[in-house]
Amino acid sequence: MLKRMLRSRLALTLAIGALSGAVAAGALAQSGGKTTSYIGKLEGPEVVTDPAKAPKTFKEAPQLAELVKAGKLPPVAERIGQDPLVIKPLKEIGKYGGTWRAGFTGPADFWNGFRCCSGPDHLMFWDYTGDKALPNLARGLEMQDGGRAWLVHLRRGMKWSDGKPFTADDFVFWFEDIYRNKDLVPTPTAAMAINGEQGTIEKVDTYTVRFKFSAPYYMLPDVLAGSTDLAGQWGAYRGMGGFAPAHYLKQFHPKYVSEAELDKKVKGAKYDSWVRMFHARNDWALNPDLPVLSAWKTVTPINTATWTLERNPYSVFVDTAGNQLPYIDRVVLTLAENLEVLNLRAVAGEYDYASRHIDLGKLPVFLENQQKGNYKVYLDPGDYCDLIIKFNLNYDADPEIAKWFNTADFRRALSLGIDRDQINETFWLGTGTPGSVVPTDSNKYNPGPQYRKLWATLDIKKANEMLDKIGLAKKDPEGYRLRSDGKGRLRIEIMTLGGQFVQYTQISEMIRGQWKKIGIDLQVQEVERSLAIKRASANEQQLAAWNNDGSEHLFTFPTHVFPFAIDDVATSGPLYAKWFRSAGAQGKEPEPRMKELMEKWKKAFGVPEKERIQLGKDIWKIAAEEVFIIGVVGQGPAAMGVRVVKNNMGNIPSRMYNSPDGKTPGISRPATFYWKN
């Protein structure tokens, strides 16, 4: 029996689901179901870090050349500066021109544009394998004082999109006037701290900045490369980023303008405080006037029907032949009021390149219409688990259930009771990999192939034996196990959310059927998402289904590895999270193995990479051995991994690294994509 807590949008989702499901089933029968053949070889453009190999002369888009000729723009070499950021396109040097059409779902979908069009504008960024952090906007990073200080070398002559120089002053302004302003940023970020102690930023000279910390912070290059609070202008709307255009933002800051003048500006723009106005003016997606460093810049903002981005004439990105990037002139994202419309538009070929919001369940329909829509479908499996089940280790409303959740063999037995192949075939159309929570084998933190299968195969006999042994041997006439306190059948609840990339509710229903064979009565509860967060943070959740995307970058994205966030849609222990975040002042001290895991994670930030990799492996070992979180099916294309690209778009990798940290497709440098004709 499926108990639904809230029926918001239910009728609509059901009807749409039914329709697309029927269509998909029909199409799948035609396509023969061989979907893994759409997964290609991982490839991507490379960043040329050797300055000797950088091109010496530059070319630019025709319309910019016109502007230069008309005297409205300085010559291209002056705009790029002495140290271009050189990218070797995947296949060939491209051609200028054209528009890239895609869809977005509204003002909360700002990640959409950051992922495609920001460059990415991080100081450091990943190579195409997602493994190594390389210099990006920064020319280089230099470690000093055993990791306690880092020199960031900026590119000489590099400019903001309005032509003003990008210098160390932009870092100092960000640090002193934004980050340390208690109104703009009431709570500092963990990314700027090591062992809970905040670092500082200081200017060395025009093109050199120093990040200083009280203890070694070896992780800093990765933190600058990942999707963290120090990762470029995507965090700017909330006062993060590491740098900000000082020359532009000073006019909105009380330190630089009189109170009366600022008040006038705030009232004129109808904001209720200068803080909100400042954040809005500092928003990459919202304010077309904001100077940026990205390859494209917003020209019509995200809160209108079309979010348009145009090439940044001062872009520091160039290809190996000296062509200033991007190749494509404009990116036009049109507002889709709902995901079904967005998907149908993609099927109809109305988008040139789309992977965000594309539904794996509709894969057959996409395949069927490849020719008609003049596009090709690629699959980009993630390196993480697409479906995990979290045990709330802090659950205390029912002591019996709390006891079992904290019994390792109970968790392991439940994991052994899941038929992952059936789930993979049904919901991933066979494209996923069944297994535990550990990331893909090629991930540098993967502890070894044996951990993929550890406690993550189907073994009903063993599961039953384990459950019998821990004290759950008694069963009721229907074959379900009885509670040890004599209060009837042992019932556990799993909380799911509807309308996500992964069909959590339907999969949980399947697991409910599978667990019947090991005598476990699972109740599936689909809840509305705000309720999910409320219940998770109030410690009312038992099990929860989610995915652990991002966990392939264990240290910059730990939320789905151990209890890290307090407000979360699925928790494995809100009190542990509180304990961890408050350094032991609040919450509950974790059980020894969880504590060990947390300590290793924390320690990793302050040790050299080799040691950190070992710590990462240890963390995954503990996670797989203890099964705090059950891994079900992973390494599939469920989350943004179905990619629909026009046939005449060039430099498209056959497979790309799919990860929130890699800002996929940002990791494949969309600035090098181009129109062949």
Partner 1 sequence: MLAYIGRRAVLAIFTVWAISVLSFAIIQLPPGDYVTSYIAQMASMGSVVSDEEAANLRIQYGLGQPIYVQYLKWMRLVVVGNFGMSMEWRRPVTEVIGERLSLTIVVSVAALLLTWVLALPIGIYSAVRQYSVGDYLATFVGFIGLAVPNFLLALVILYFGFVLFNAHIGGLFSPEWQDAPWSLGRVWDLLKHLPIPALILGLAGTAQQIRIMRANLLDELRKPYVVTARSKGLAEARVIVKYPVRVALNPFASTIGYTLPYIVSGSIIVSLVLGLPTVGPLLLKALIAQDMFLAGTIVLLLGVMTVIGTLISDILLVWIDPRIRLEDT
Query: Quick one: which segment of 265-273, 289-297, 391-399, 488-496 binds partner 1 (CB under 8 A)?
Result: 265-273
Taking CB under 8 A as the rule, does residue 308 contact partner 1?
yes
Q: Which is nearer to partner 1, 102 or 524 (CB)?
A: 102
Taking CB under 8 A as the rule, does residue 226 contact partner 1?
no
Q: Which amino acid is at 568?
A: D
The CA distance from 55 to 576, in Å, is: 53
Residue 190 CB, shortest distance to partner 1, in Å, is: 7
Q: Which is nearer to partner 1, 189 or 457 (CB)?
A: 189
Residues 588-617 that bind partner 1 (CB under 8 A): none
Q: Which is nearer to partner 1, 14 or 29 (CB)?
A: 14
Residues 92-151 that bind partner 1 (CB under 8 A): 101, 106-109, 111
- Residues for the chain: how many in total? 677
Taking CB under 8 A as the rule, does residue 345 contact partner 1?
yes
Query: Quick one: which segment of 143-151, 275-283, 438-446, 616-624 binds partner 1 (CB under 8 A)?
Result: 275-283
Residues 358-417 that bind partner 1 (CB under 8 A): none
Are 373 and 649 in contact by the 8 Å Cβ rule? The answer is: no
For 203, the token pair is: 């200017």
Query: Quick one: which segment of 144-152, 186-194, 213-221, 245-253 binds partner 1 (CB under 8 A)?
Result: 186-194
Residues 550-589 that bind partner 1 (CB under 8 A): 550, 557, 559, 565-569, 581
Taking CB under 8 A as the rule, does residue 239 contact partner 1?
yes
User: Of 221, 213, 209, whose CA–CA distance to 194 is shortest?
Assistant: 213
Taking CB under 8 A as the rule, does residue 677 contact partner 1?
no
Are 139 and 157 in contact by the 8 Å Cβ rule? The answer is: no
For 321, the token pair is: 């032949």
Q: Which amino acid is at 526?
A: E
Are 46 and 128 in contact by the 8 Å Cβ rule? The answer is: yes
Q: Terminal CA-to-CA distance of the chain, rounded, Å?
A: 55
Query: Quick one: which segment of 51-59, 313-321, 523-531, 602-610 binds partner 1 (CB under 8 A)?
Result: 523-531
Residue 386 CB, shortest distance to partner 1, in Å, is: 11
Taking CB under 8 A as the rule, does residue 257 contact partner 1?
no
Taking CB under 8 A as the rule, does residue 454 contact partner 1?
no
Taking CB under 8 A as the rule, does residue 276 contact partner 1?
yes
Residues 155-174 that bind partner 1 (CB under 8 A): none
Is the previous residue joined to 449 through a cis bond, with omega within 30 degrees of 0?
no
**Helices and strands (DSSP H and E) totals, the chain:** 21, 28
Residue 529 CB, shortest distance to partner 1, in Å, is: 4
User: Of 437, 536, 546, 532, whose CA–CA distance to 502 is shortest?
Assistant: 546
DSSP bridge pairs for 522 = 492
Residue of 181, 200, 334, 523 that binds partner 1 (CB under 8 A): 334
Residue 247: enclosing H or E segment and its boundaries? helix 246-249
User: Of 623, 594, 658, 638, whose CA–CA distance to 436 is shortest?
Assistant: 623
Residue 170 CB, shortest distance to partner 1, in Å, is: 22
Q: Which is nearer to partner 1, 228 or 323 (CB)?
A: 228
Longest dimension (CA), the chain: 87
Residue of 137, 249, 367, 533 that binds partner 1 (CB under 8 A): 533
Q: Which is nearer to partner 1, 84 or 239 (CB)?
A: 239
For 211, the token pair is: 């990040």
Taking CB under 8 A as the rule, does residue 665 contact partner 1?
no
Residue 306 CB, shortest distance to partner 1, in Å, is: 5
The CA distance from 294 to 660, in Å, is: 18
Taking CB under 8 A as the rule, does residue 511 contact partner 1?
no
Residue of 3, 7, 19, 146 that binds partner 1 (CB under 8 A): 19
Residue 33 per-residue DSSP state:
T
Taking CB under 8 A as the rule, does residue 12 contact partner 1?
yes
The CA distance from 22 to 563, in Å, is: 39
Strand ranges inside 279-329, DSSP E:
296-300, 306-311, 317-319
Secondary structure of 454-486 in HEC code, one letter for each residue: CCCCCCHHHHHHHHHHHHHCCECCCCCEECCCC
Residue 560 CB, shortest distance to partner 1, in Å, is: 9
Place of tokens 């990331």: 439
Taking CB under 8 A as the rule, does residue 23 contact partner 1?
yes
Q: Which is nearer to partner 1, 457 or 539 (CB)?
A: 539
Residue 393 CB, shortest distance to partner 1, in Å, is: 19
Q: Which is nearer to partner 1, 144 or 273 (CB)?
A: 273
Place of tokens 């340390």: 180
| CA within 13 Å, CB half, 459 | 14
Taking CB under 8 A as the rule, does residue 540 contact partner 1?
no
Residue of 93, 134, 185, 613 that binds partner 1 (CB under 8 A): 185
* Cα–Cα distances in angstroms (integers) from residue 304 to residues 115, 143, 271, 346, 442, in the given order: 19, 44, 18, 21, 42
Place of tokens 């999109």: 161
The CA distance from 299 to 286, in Å, is: 9
Taking CB under 8 A as the rule, does residue 271 contact partner 1?
yes
Q: Which is nearer to partner 1, 86 or 569 (CB)?
A: 569
Q: Which is nearer to partner 1, 117 or 569 (CB)?
A: 569
Radius of gyration for the alpha carbons in the chain, expressed in angstroms and rounded: 26
Q: Which is nearer to partner 1, 9 or 250 (CB)?
A: 9
Q: Which is nearer to partner 1, 497 or 645 (CB)?
A: 497
Query: Quick one: which segment of 80-88, 278-286, 436-444, 624-632 binds partner 1 (CB under 8 A)?
Result: 278-286
Are 322 and 93 in contact by the 8 Å Cβ rule? The answer is: no
Residues 463-502 that bind partner 1 (CB under 8 A): 497, 499-501
Are 193 and 269 in contact by the 8 Å Cβ rule? The answer is: no
Strand ranges inside 33-95, DSSP E:
46-48, 85-88
Q: Which is nearer to partner 1, 237 or 515 (CB)?
A: 237
The CA distance from 609 to 105, in Å, is: 39
Taking CB under 8 A as the rule, does residue 523 contact partner 1?
no
Taking CB under 8 A as the rule, does residue 41 contact partner 1?
no
Residue of 332, 518, 597, 615 that binds partner 1 (CB under 8 A): 332
Q: Which is nearer to partner 1, 83 or 359 (CB)?
A: 359
| CA within 13 Å, CB half, 252 | 25
Residue 613 CB, shortest distance to partner 1, in Å, is: 23
For 128, the token pair is: 């195409």
For 462, the token pair is: 């063993």
Q: Which is nearer to partner 1, 1 or 11 (CB)?
A: 11
